[in-house]
Amino acid sequence: MTHGAVEQGKATAAEANRQVRNLLGQATSQLNQQADTQQKRAAAGLRSLGDELESMSSQDERRGLAGDLARQAAEQAHRAADWLDEREPGAVVAEVRDFARRRPGLFLAGAAVAGMLAGRLTRSIASDGEAGAGGSEGQQPLSSHRGQVGT
């Protein structure tokens, strides 16, 4: 092999290395953006849930223990949404991992509740999307039927 071929091989390897680093940087940036977007969606969903729970707790028939529990759950949902908004996605993962190590039982219980809430939010978003994307005429999302009698 000639000296020129060796130099050309080194230059090609250096260029490939630079392109791989660039590609990795772009992928990392996109993943961070997606994580940030999902975190913001989760915070918005928690706020929506908190607002709905607040609304439930303020209804006249919900005074008492059920109303108090709904009010407390609404406050917790709003606090969780604020907590998510104040942190970077990587920091959220680290804090959740540390909490899971310190309190595994509570973490698992919280994960189960979060899973149920996520399922509820997903169904709600899906039904809103179907209603907005040309769902059957005359049909309303389930959440809009609240408080209506005889419809």
Residue 101 in this model has a pLDDT that exceeds 90 = yes
pLDDT grade for 64, boundaries at 50, 70 and 90: confident
Express each pLDDT in 15-41 by its tens digit.
999 999 999 889 988 888 888 888 898
Mean pLDDT along residues 2-25: 88
Least confident range from 27-41, 89-103, 127-141: namely 127-141
pTM of this prediction?
0.55
Please give the full DSSP string across the chain, using - where no structure is assigned: --HHHHHHHHHHHHHHHHHHHHHHHHHHHHHHHHHHHHHHHHHHHHHHHHHHHHHHHHSGGGTTHHHHHHHHHHHHHHHHHHHHHTS-HHHHHHHHHHHHHH-HHHHHHHHHHHHHHHHHHHHHHHHHHHHHTT--TT---GGGGTT----
pLDDT grade for 148, boundaries at 50, 70 and 90: very low
Residue 132: per-residue pLDDT: 59
Least confident range from 102-106, 114-118, 147-151: namely 147-151
Find how far residue 69's CA is from the centre of its chain: 23
Residue 62: per-residue pLDDT: 54
Residue 52 in this model has a pLDDT that exceeds 50 = yes
- Please give, one letter per residue, the 3-state secondary structure of 60-93: HHHCCHHHHHHHHHHHHHHHHHHHHHCCCHHHHH
Residue 61: per-residue pLDDT: 62
Which residue bears the tokens 């993962």?
93
Mean pLDDT along residues 116-142: 63
Which residue bears the tokens 């918005």?
44
Which residue bears the tokens 């709905």?
52
